[in-house]
Amino acid sequence: MPTCLNCQKSIEGRVDKKFCDPYCKSNYHYQKNKIKDHGLYKRIDLQLKLNRRLLREFNKAGKAVIRAENLWERGFNPNYFTNYWKNNKGDIYLFVYEFGFF
């Protein structure tokens, strides 16, 4: 009788069944993927999320002036942004989702 790949309980049902329930299947794949090295898209997504979180954290009132060093020491990377906007003066503002920086 086959056993569950996640919890090692015996499995009833189809002969080719690998997991005893959907929770075990989900947990097994979560644990397996957690160990894997992050791919390119995952690393970019993690950096964008970190950049957004830091900008949101420092920008409570809607407009704030922050020293770049304060952001950089907490892991902010200005090379990762989602879009940009150029004003009439020619200044370029970079955005990480809805939070912008100059």
Q: Which residues contact 42 (CB under 8 A, 6 or more apart)?
A: none
- Same domain for 19 and 68, yes or no, is no
Are 30 and 48 members of one domain? Answer: no
Residues of the chain above pLDDT 70, percent: 99
Range of the domain at 32: 1-36
CA-CA distance, 92 to 83, in Å (whole number)?
Answer: 10
Residues 47 and 97 in one domain: yes
Could you tell me the pTM of the whole model? 0.61
* Integer Cα distance of 22 and 16 in angstroms: 15
Same structural domain for residues 50 and 14? no
Number of domains composing the chain: 2
The CA-based angle 58-63-65, given to 5 degrees, is 65
The per-residue pLDDT for range 82-95, each reduced to its tens digit, is 999 999 999 998 99
- For the chain of 102 residues, list the mean pLDDT of each consecutive stretch of 10: 91 91 94 79 91 88 80 91 93 89 82
Residues 72 and 25 in one domain: no
